[in-house]
Structure 1
């Protein structure tokens, strides 16, 4: 086993295992080892892993494993049981640059969202297979404490988009305004959820999450029968692994967006464009500025989390450079302002 120096949950320094805070958030206070007794790419365990992947009920291209906690250890979910965790190893897709860094990237980005910008996220961390390879782990938030499933639908489903109706790239069609329209339709207290959605859209832009497609946003039913935006999930800086783009969705923020001079000239949106988008989806000026203001003055804490993360040194530099470039674009002002 290699030496852990920072908490694989919160990234707090000087921890050789999960911190008390991480254990409480991710495992309900149980003492759990970050080392999993599994060789992911080993021929002897391939059949067990394949069967586990088949059983998991969450769709997606990346391989995902279902897990439970047994006697202080993270284990694959036995057949017939309900898994409470999802494990995401590094993808096998060789077209992705630095794909072995993806688990650490997702973990870091999710921690930044929560710790720096107070965005509600699924409880998450890293674990390590027997060969010390890291994998991302997230506690399922569509399962209640009593084990019952919580009703949840992603926005591809809510918008009626499937591969049959919109082709193989269905989850990348449309715009973020389409999601906003859907929120108004299904959520009674939509103003509060819309403010959360707006902040998440800004976050995804600043952190180069160009894979924030329709299936990566969901509505979740509350115990009262109302609907709310689910905790954020699948956040990562995609520019480390694929060609960078402004947005995941083909029509960007909105096909109806009146672009700023900066956006028209450079091809990249700035703060003014997000202000326009906020108004377009029904937010008032106070809500818009509150969300945008939350992204200022946070560099020191952000840089510390990047430094404490499990990215390699090159990826840490790339991560910060891409964020700083986005912030620079975001803060550009029109020539005639």
Structure 2
């Protein structure tokens, strides 16, 4: 089997995904794509080269294009009698709905992902239809029969991709046009999750991180979060996709290895692996500092789910890469049914209670900061910056969500105590959050 691999913005396929009789898969860029001055690589793990990529690298990347929730995948496997690891066979049926700008199609099939015109390529949802969609997502039921999810999304949250028109109405794309937003709907008994993710995203922006814009709304009496897609550009009434990939793809890891604890030495999402990515960006010094700041911020707000699929890269012309805005920032520790174990270790620390000066120094050393004095200065500045910013927001946070405010205050106290620093008010005086 041979499948065409397409990238939105290029008129012809950029490569071929092939499967042999044993089910092994390979990926090869086309000669035409390699000769283009504006050629883009699919992934850091699949750089521009005429040689085919073998099964392990190919399978890891293309498996990551499918949804993590495997309902659609399971349906296709059952319907056509496919093997669970028949990645080419599964993509033959699901490849048009791959995430991002990539699509995988039967050989010779026309492109299914193209730029969209807002005045022509979108059908607004009726109010009743949108309410039915939200109720279905809230109750974890299949979408209404007449609704086709235009861009199935990875992750475990209930959500659907939509386009927001200039008049504010939500719409479904037609003919392969891109969506512009993601509508996240919390499940029953988790209604506060939308407001908490919104607050965490706002805190991320206020802390100086480029972060996807969010807005809270209520539909059919159900709270929902509308997230503007960072991998879209809207200009002159047209919408186009930007090619990006997550760190799992960049590292050649399957989605199931998105947490460090699931991998093995040399094949896992850890700080050493992150360094290999950041060192290849257009500004490694800035990117390393950003990753340090993000790590401390996430510790303090209780986001223990910063896994490899929640970090991504833009692929830019000239074979350049940089990290994308932040997305999926959520205080997961507020949910007492989840783990407080980090997605990646900080030194030897697996949770905030274990984070001390030694753990943070080891963390910075793993990122490639060789100077002991430099690491000490960077750590002090990053910690002061995060504590000062979040401490200044505690009153506002607690006014809307006392548990969230108490969690951040508790985390600030824990980190300051572990580092031998004075705890500032109001963090010093707020109640303790207990899991």
Match for residue 412 of structure 2 among 324, 327, 330 = 327
- Paired residue total: 270
User: 2:144 and 2:191 mapped to 1: Cα distance?
Assistant: 19
Q: Is 1:171 aligned to residue 261 of structure 2?
A: no
Displacement, 1:183? 2.1
Match for residue 124 of structure 1 among 201, 214, 225 = 214
Radius of gyration: which is bigger?
2
User: 1:203 and 1:179 mapped to 2: Cα distance?
Assistant: 20
> Given the superposition, is the C-alpha separation of residues 269 and 183 from structure 1 closer, same or farther in structure 2, using an over 3 Å criterion?
same
Displacement, 1:317? 1.9
Structure 1 residues 1-337: aligned runs within 5 Å: 37=127, 38-39=130-131, 40-41=134-135, 46-49=144-147, 51-52=148-149, 55-70=150-165, 72-80=167-175, 81-91=177-187, 98-115=189-206, 117-129=207-219, 131-146=220-235, 147-162=239-254, 169-172=256-259, 173=262, 174-222=268-316, 225-241=319-335, 242-249=337-344, 252-254=345-347, 257=348, 268-283=354-369, 284-285=374-375, 286-299=377-390, 301-307=392-398, 309=400, 316-333=401-418
> Given the superposition, is the C-alpha separation of residues 213 and 44 from structure 1 closer, same or farther in structure 2, using an over 3 Å criterion?
closer
Paired residue secondary structure (1:67): strand
Q: Which has the higher contact order (CA 8 A, sep 6+)?
A: 1
> Given the superposition, is the C-alpha separation of residues 278 and 47 from structure 1 closer, same or farther in structure 2, using an over 3 Å criterion?
same
User: 2:209 and 2:201 mapped to 1: Cα distance?
Assistant: 9
TM-score scaled by structure 1? 0.71
Paired residue secondary structure (2:173): coil
TM-score scaled by structure 2? 0.56
User: 2:199 and 2:183 mapped to 1: Cα distance?
Assistant: 15
> Given the superposition, is the C-alpha separation of residues 175 and 274 from structure 1 closer, same or farther in structure 2, using an over 3 Å criterion?
farther
Q: Deviations over 1:108-142 (max 9, x none)?
A: 00101111x1111111111221x232211111111
Mark the runs of 5 or more structure 1 residues left unpaired by the alignment. Answer: 1-35, 93-97, 164-168, 310-315
Q: Which has the higher mean CA deviation after the structures are superposed, 319-328 or 171-180? A: 171-180
CA-atom RMSD, angstroms?
A: 2.9
Displacement, 1:300? 5.5
User: 1:160 and 1:44 mapped to 2: Cα distance?
Assistant: 32
Paired residue secondary structure (1:294): helix
Structure holding more strand per residue: 2
Q: 2:165, 2:171 within 8 Å by CA — same for their partners in 1? A: no
Mark the runs of 5 or more structure 2 residues left unpaired by the alignment. Answer: 1-125, 263-267, 421-435
Q: 2:391, 2:409 within 8 Å by CA — same for their partners in 1? A: no
User: 1:119 and 1:305 mapped to 2: Cα distance?
Assistant: 19
> Given the superposition, is the C-alpha separation of residues 220 and 71 from structure 1 closer, same or farther in structure 2, using an over 3 Å criterion?
closer
